[in-house]
Structure 1
Amino acid sequence: MSDEPRFPLGAPAPDCLLPNGRSLHELRGQPVLLAFAPEEWNPAQAHQSTIFTQLLRAFDPGTSAPDDAVSCWHSLNCHGPAAAQFGLAGQRALVVLDEQGLLRWQTIIRPGQELRTGQVLAALEALRPAAPTREAAAGAALAPTGGLSRRTFVTATLATAALLLLVGVAEAAGPAATSSTPAPMPVPAAATVPITLTINGEAHRLEVEPRVMLLDALRENLHLTGTKKGCDHGQCGACTVHIDGHSALSCLTLAVMSEGRKITTIEGLAQGETLHPMQAAFVKHDAFQCGYCTPGQIMAATALVQDKQRRSAAEIREAMSGNLCRCAAYPNIIAAIQEIQTA
């Protein structure tokens, strides 16, 4: 049997009889998801639908699944006549049809195939109406984006959520599985290591996983939330702290690597009620708007002026280029730094 489906992307889907007795062509006007799978893999189950909604919200924050997002699911036996009509007999597959009944998204899970969440969701991003490109990732074939509605995109996102969640459940359960609720997967306890961090002149003993970043240890373990999490990739500078007097990005610094070093956060700059001169200069020059990047800006600026050099505005701008301000308060930030370096 050929591994390729019988119908290419963008082609009209064949009509077939659904488990509820309706014809597939009767559902024109709404996106439809067809899940071809063994009987134990059923996306229509209530507990799984809840998980789909949660995954959708995680992928697209601030939105919720449309009311018909679950009702458009149709689980079909991969050994039945509908699977044969689609050329998918005996294969676990997901197919998304748009409102016109055109095949817009499909993926087939081969035996032993592994799919990664990031790859598939990145491929789904190409389905957005605003993104004219098309990609293929982890065995998922994507259709051209022209005319694709948000409802179809949401349906495809739900399809991916089901795929990534349920393929492992079905394969782990095996053909003899009869329970409608998958058994919870055991989560091994993460190994932790004891560390002592010297922060703002005080020693703090912690138990952390070796992979924990200094930023997370500061915010989650010690509740020093002045250090902000911005991009979490070392690109915005909002998490800047001082380590042994030098500015460092705490989102890229492992907590365990910071043991034995002197760490200063924004909370450690002021002396009681007396602001650090750089903090006072930022207030004087109104060098912030929303304030989210301000702790990182101040920490980077404080480290910058320690060498007592007189820098031009252009040199300051270059030295501070790793700290981004989405409110664009850069002229005021530069003015505050210039005042301190000339004091």
Structure 2
Amino acid sequence: MLQEFSPALQPGDTVPNGPLPDGSTLLERRGQPVILAFAPSEWNPAQAHQSAIFVSLSQEFDNGAAFAEVAPQAWHSLDYRGELAEQLGVAGQRALLLLDEAGVLRWKTVIEPGQEIQSGQVLAALEALRPAPAAPNTAAAPSAAAINETEVASGGMSRRTFVTATLAAAALLTLPSVVTAAPAAVSTSPTLTDDRPAMLPVALTINGQSHRLQLDPRTALLDALRENLHLTGTKKGCDHGQCGACTVHLDGHSALSCLTLAVMAQGKAITTIEGLAKGDVLHPLQAAFIKHDAFQCGYCTPGQLMAASALLTDPHTRHGSAVEIREAMSGNLCRCAAYPNIIAAIEEAQRA
């Protein structure tokens, strides 16, 4: 659950001055929005897959605003054991604070560990924070650039702060195993959760690592991998068990993750395409796929590799003929029709 705000720091309060990791201070950052992210390790949506989530959010909630619109210096990733965390009352807690250009606290979220993200509430919060259109004015109209920077909602939030809030929301959505309630700017009714199924604790072992999540019992393993743990190598193709793009291993056997509930995978060793290689050393099958150019667009390739690698360890199929390999791989579709090269790569991996 979302913890209560510290009485000493309420939304609408001006945040006191304090040191930032780049050597500047909060006072020196006045005039631009600031995000303070407190966590035990770096937490930044500009990293890898996380930036794609930000771009998606900004396009949906800010008419296509680009990631570059938010100055990199707006984001500050801080250790939650540091001086500023102590000063702002969030020591030892994962927390996200959004300050506007005047240093006023707009959004403060303190997160409980071991919970899953509720993205709908974050998006609803963003919608509530969106600046209202500028009121018509019969006097001389200001320039478009001036409107762009000074347009504010009833609470006085500028468009620039809203774009920064989009980045903050992206950060919340990139935290695995975290449930995020709506920020204080949004009042949530108890009836909103009446029809929602109870979240279940789910423990998954994926590529040798343990993960604890809180999931809707109807969540497919595919969605848990992609949306909760950001293991996006496993692809969502048909979502009906017909294309094989979502193939993973459960205890060494091929399984379609779109048809497997995450709760059913507890206690099993799950291997995804991210776990096929050993560090920087490719699996022999991956090397053979590259050598034989066994892919074109590449979308089906993770599923092809996972199905084929399970085939190679199955005593009934690992020494199969080309015809037998084709039959064993028939559940994995390739729209690019790279089948001859795929079969050739599997045959080579069999001989390795």
State the TM-score, normalized to the length of structure 1: 0.45
Larger Rg: 1
